[in-house]
Amino acid sequence: MKSEDPIIDPDLPPGSQMAQYKLLRPVGAGGMGVVYLAWDVELERDAAVKVLKRDALGAAGTDVELLQQRFLREARSAAKLSHPNVAAVYQVGRHGTRRRARVFIAMEWLAGGSLADHLQHHIILDWRDATAAVRDAALGLAAAHGSGIIHRDIKPSNLMRTPTGQVKLVDFGLAREFAAVSDLTEAGSIMGTPTYMSPEQCRGEPATPLSDVYALGCTLFHLLASRPPFEAESVPGLLHQQINEPLPDIRRFAEDVPEALMAVLARACAKRPADRFATAAELADALSAALTNGAGRSTAIPATIKVAIPVDPPNNLPHETSSFVGREQELADIATALAAARLTTLLGPGGTGKTRLALQTARRSLRMFPAGVWMVELANIAAGVTPDAVARAVSSALGLKESSGRSAADILADHLRDADALLVIDNCEHLIETAAQLCADLLERCSKLRLLATSRQPLRIPGETALRVPSLTTPDTDDVPLAELEQLPSVRLFVERARAVRPGFALSQDNAPAIARICRRLDGIPLAIELAAARAKVLSAQQIAERLGDAFKLLTGGSRTLLPRQQTLRALIDWSYELLDDRARAALARMSVFAGGCTFEAAESILPDGTDAPDAPEVTLKPEADFVHDVSAAVPIDAADVLDLLCELVEHSLVIADERDGVVRYRMLETIRQYAAEKLAVSPIERRAVRTRHARFFEDFAVTSVQSIQGPTQAQTLAALAADHDNLRAAMDHSIQDRRVEIAVPLGAALAKYWNIRGMMAEGVRTVDAIMQLNPPENATLARLLDSGGVLAIYFGEPGRAAEWFERALALARAAGELPIVSSALNNLSTLAKEQGDLRKAYDLGQQALQVRLVLGDLALIAGSYNNIGNIARAMGRPQEARELLGKSMAIAIKRDDTRWIAYGHLNLGELEVEQGNADIALPLYTKCLEILKGLDEEWGMAYAEEGIARCLLAKGDLSGARSRLESALAVCRKFGDKANMADQLDFLAHVELQQGNPNDAMAHSAASTDLRLTINDRGGIATSLETRALLLAATDSARSAALLGCADQLRNALGMKLAEGKRIAHEQLLMTLKAAIGEATFAEQFGRGAATPAESLLQT
């Protein structure tokens, strides 16, 4: 092979070594990788080594992580299989440095070449050889399917022969596990080789095991005819043939093919999956039978070849004009229901895809109903008509003629009396009574008839199975990895429809966050997503996402082929809204005040008219839209009516009832909530009254809940607060906007405690600051707010604000005689002093707080003081005192069954032990802490535990494990804006990088850590930064390293901070190293210079 051959990888020329494999020569290239013949130097055998292409990694727009995941998935897929007809995988690995690692797969070397090689070199296979080869492949395929793996790219080049003629499957590069939730190459993007691709794959539908059967049939045709079954000048033309053209007569190309094999070929290549062999194993059996039955038979061409060609039953189903994305589970559920019940009704709000699902089900069910499948659209029939008028619409769809003297219902019933047929009746909601009456009559008179209806509410007749149609799955956040994002049906739908109006549109790292936000904001409603994607013709994804604040203006201009009510998002919801009475409309408008749903108790407290006396003047709105004139939001509602009204809204698919852990919550899709909020906004007085009732309810809920946040029920309390966190935020926002200080202050004080536990520092500080802008009255409640807010400010990196709030809280609490708040403010001032490195002040304040708490006799507060003073003693280098105090705190927590404090007790004891060099003792303490906090879903605290585990792993020499844990902790602290702990973790990461031989990366992490510590004025942390920088410079600039240590020493002495035992030994070793490098005299000079220089100056030079 010449060196200029394009498949040679410049980084891996022949003779290169990759792990234990010496690369001898490249032998081919696949979709993702270059394949080499290699020699296994350890086991002394030939091997095929496939390496991910370098040019694929470097291609513009390529997502490296996604490509590597696809490549590794091939290895994982193939490695799961152990079968004589599947090539064996020996090893999967990475070669090279961490940043330039190349992924490779080592597998069995098959010296006989591929069946594509035979075709390329015009080696004509006898029909028996071809049949035996494909039978072998079918056996291997059956093993793959049995392990839950679909190959998805069966073709001659992926069928390799051994020197003995045995065929083995290779290249699982597009394989997927068809039972798995995740899939990197799911439907919606056509993947595979079009020449052998099944019709369903050509349409962009998900591949199934029967897609592999079809591809194997096409491969057999190619081997027999020396040409593929379909050929075209373009890929679109080829896809069209695969979908629509019948299989050519094989006898035109190979006269000796026996009839038995022709029948096998026709069935394997059937257009409908249901008409193919049910499994690859069945295909293998049929091929074996053809080999037996075909032997010795005449091969003359018969006058007529009788091959059964499936014919569709009569139907009026429209042809698909766009691909159908996702919904495999829903289709399966509908098929199950349709088989078991004679009436299946698909329920859901407008735009969720009920009609498309019904049509797709009907298409897939054609062969089940020999008398026909008929679609009946009721949307254009006016409300209030008789059942016979609906019957005429159904009769018209079936092409039945009217007869004088007979009702349309009778004609229809007579026609369908013994017919094994399916009627799809679409959009029943505005004719619910008449549609229900006709359906009941037909089911009673037509024993074999099945009905599939779509509606926004059930028909409520005997024998009905109602299925809720959910929205498409959406991303939880904007930063979902690209590999996961492209699997989601909502994202695939947006990308496909956007590509239809802007060719070349694709999901990328740049537009992924915006597309995720679009799909989430639109609740995964297919029609809304399609309307948004239509805007991609003139707007970027980011621009579309930015305009979703007024989705009703943006989402207009749907396809002209849609019904008028489906051409805009507003018209879609208007259709449902107009079916409600005034009380239900009022309830819907008031439900918009809830964010993230609500319990029945919340709805019962907020939906009915209250006794609030709104003090806001009525505001006249400019009538910019028709909805302004709708005053139904102000219609009175009684508490006794709430349950019935909720049930009505659920039945109309405007509200969703979800049950979890025995609790039912009611929620609206965001688009419907936005619509309902517009209705509520028509009356500002009504809106203010509803918002006030909402805020007061959740203020009481928060204040009551935080009283149980410590103790045996804390897990349930935290879960309840998390479930209604969006409502709590909304209540806070409304209280601030409406200047309801009497609600905002106690609600903020309660929420600050919750935000502290959840690590939501930035949100908490912003909220407390916004409340303070309202100039609240100075009282004990305000003291509680400032005290709790100060804790958030410490970890948010604003020590000045924290000190101000704590001091003010202390003064207010003393004036009000509120000793619990006094003790808390003192304890928090102690924590602040410790964070700033003033350990003597911290210790004194901690003792003052403890004395107040001992007087109060509150065990929970006393445990908190013991914990705080114990941590200060640890930082002061007094381990015995620290161990005693932390032990007392833990004992009280255990006595009170306070799970959260038990977790932090383990954490703090772990800190003590790891600082003393006892990593083996610390590791199980950190691990237990992590286990408990996982149960409480306390992500911020889990980051502390992960960091502690990382310290233990580093002490044990497990650098990669330490890095992994540390990066996980750092990501959480970045998420919550915890600057103090981010600084600690970056400093720690610098030590890990140094030990891994990456001094430049270590210096970068140290600099980032130092910047944070200087920003938040963490004096103790700055001393640590000086010591870390000294260690990093010891080998290259010993004099400066000595100066940095002198500055750190002076700062530690000023703060009263001693080095822990575990750090002291390493510190002394560094001192000796520097003295040996530059001499005692120079060391002393530089050490003294550093002690006299401000830390900021040394760190910034």
Q: Please give the annotated binding residues, written as ranges.
A: 50
The separation between CA 1100 and the C-alpha centre of its own chain, rounded to angstroms, equals 42
On the CB side of 409, CA atoms within 13 Å amount to: 16
> Could you give the 3-state DSSP secondary structure of residue 426?
strand
168 three-class SS: strand
Query: Which residue shows structure tokens 């798995």?
Result: 180
Phi, psi of 903, rounded to the nearest 5 degrees = -60, -50
984-988: Cβ within 8 A, 24+ apart: 984/947, 984/1009, 984/1021, 984/1024, 985/947, 985/1009, 986/1012, 987/1021, 987/1024, 987/1025, 987/1028, 988/947, 988/950, 988/951, 988/954
User: Mind telling me the catalytic residues?
Assistant: 153
At what angle are helices 1038-1055 and 1061-1078 packed, to 10 degrees?
Answer: 140
- Euclidean distance between CA atoms 693 and 337, whole angstroms: 43
Tell me the three state secondary structure of residue 92: strand
- What is the dihedral sign for C-alpha 634, 637, 639, 641? negative
Q: Cβ distance 692 to 740 under 8 Å?
A: yes
Q: How many angstroms separate the Cα of 910 from the Cα of each of 863, 890, 949?
A: 17, 13, 9
**CA atoms of 526 and 528, how far apart (whole Å):** 5
Report the C-alpha gap between 47 and 62 in whole angstroms.
29
Residue 648, amino acid: E
Could you give the strand order of the β-sheet that contains 102-107, starting from the edge strand earlier in sequence?
Answer: 17-18, 21-29, 33-40, 45-52, 102-107, 89-95
Contact 1051/1023 with Cβ under 8 angstroms? yes
C-alpha 573: how far from chain center: 28
The tokens describing 524, both together, are 């995964």
Task: Assess contact for 877 and 1059: CB atoms under 8 A.
Answer: yes
For the annotated binding site for ATP, the residues are: 50
- Give the C-alpha separation, 399 to 379, whole Å: 19
Can you tell me which residue has the tokens 């769809």? 397
How many C-beta atoms surround the C-beta of residue 609 within 10 A?
17
Q: Give the number of other Cβ atoms within 10 Å of residue 663's Cβ.
A: 13
